[in-house]
Structure 1
Amino acid sequence: MKLDAISIITADMPAAITFYSALGLELADGGPDAPHTEFSSGSLRILLDTEAVVLGIDPEWTRPTGGNKMSLAFDCSTAEAVDATFAKLTGRGDGGSDPVAGVVHEPWDAFWGQRYAVVSDPDGNTVDLFATLNS
């Protein structure tokens, strides 16, 4: 048995696709008007399902409230890439693009030896951006 996919429920499929595409994930199936969309990331898939899909499976489902629903972490390889990805997602980069992510924590050098930043996707899920700092 192996972990194959992580499923994320979204209230706004087009915004979620824009966010995860900006992180460099490759759209494999679906799209802005689809109720189910898949991204590939190596051997792991990221699945996006609309709330309507989930309600079709579980009519008693309700959107979680309070606290973090789930979190993903992306290895950006270098400290500079953490900063650049954060700037791109939050609209703070060169060219002043529109933000596709919320700011949870600005980039910082964490005591555990990584450059770290945290953003949120359109549904409020946190996404960590990190890279090991060179000693």
Structure 2
Amino acid sequence: MNLAAVSVSTKDLTTSVEFYKILGFEFEKFSDTDEHVESINGDGIKLMIDTESMVKSILGIKPTPSNHSQFAILYDSPAEVNERTELLTSKGFDVMKQPWDAFWGQRYAVVKDPNGYLVDVYAYLPKAKPV
């Protein structure tokens, strides 16, 4: 078994794609009428973004993020965590918890996507070993 994708829903596909591009995801071109996009980064886990209206048509209820609906993105360096969060802030996106050196050996931050989904961004600190 393999985890293949993480999915979020959005009111505004263009704004959500802009947010996730800042975090490093790549997407193929899409049109204003598209209701689903997927990241095209490598062979790893995909990020899928669906419009709220499409999800509601399938589930019969409006999708909403919870206060702990999170996934995490690992970066190559602590500096990259700082750079990504600074860029998000400069573009008007929410950084819930500014980068800090966590006691567990990572440079860590928590950002919020345009629809309220929380995303952890982190990198291992020098001399810290991945668990």
Instruction: Give the number of equivalent residue pairs.
Output: 126
Q: Do the aligned residues in 1 keep the contact of 2:66 with 2:117 (CA within 8 Å)?
A: no
Q: Do the aligned residues in 2 keep the contact of 1:38 with 1:48 (CA within 8 Å)?
A: yes
Q: d(CA) in 2 for partners of 1:41 and 1:71? A: 19
Q: Do the aligned residues in 2 keep the contact of 1:10 with 1:50 (CA within 8 Å)?
A: yes
- Determine what percentage of the aligned residue pairs are the same residue: 35
Runs (5+) with no aligned partner, structure 2? none
Against the structure 1 CA distance between its residues 115 and 27, is the aligned structure 2 distance closer, same or farther, given a 3 Å change threshold? same
Q: d(CA) in 2 for partners of 1:2 and 1:31? A: 30
Against the structure 1 CA distance between its residues 65 and 76, is the aligned structure 2 distance closer, same or farther, given a 3 Å change threshold? closer
Name the SS for the 1:48 alignment partner: strand
Superposition TM-score, scaled by structure 1 size: 0.83
Runs (5+) with no aligned partner, structure 1? 92-97
Partner of 2:38: 38
Against the structure 1 CA distance between its residues 118 and 29, is the aligned structure 2 distance closer, same or farther, given a 3 Å change threshold? same
Q: Deviations over 1:6-44 (max 9, x none)?
A: 111111111101111111211036345411111123222
1:55 aligns with 2:89: no
What displacement does 1:83 show? 0.6
Q: How does 1:33-112 map to 2 (within 5 A)?
A: 33-43=33-43, 44-59=45-60, 61-64=61-64, 67-68=67-68, 70-91=69-90, 98-99=91-92, 101-112=93-104
Against the structure 1 CA distance between its residues 116 and 32, is the aligned structure 2 distance closer, same or farther, given a 3 Å change threshold? farther
Superposition TM-score, scaled by structure 2 size: 0.85
Partner of 2:125: 133
Quick check: which one's strand share is greater?
A: 1
What displacement does 1:2 show? 2.3
Name the SS for the 1:47 alignment partner: strand
Partner of 1:94: none
Q: d(CA) in 2 for partners of 1:66 and 1:25? A: 23
Partner of 1:95: none
**Over aligned residue pairs, what C-alpha RMSD do you find?**
1.8
Q: Do the aligned residues in 1 keep the contact of 2:9 with 2:49 (CA within 8 Å)?
A: yes
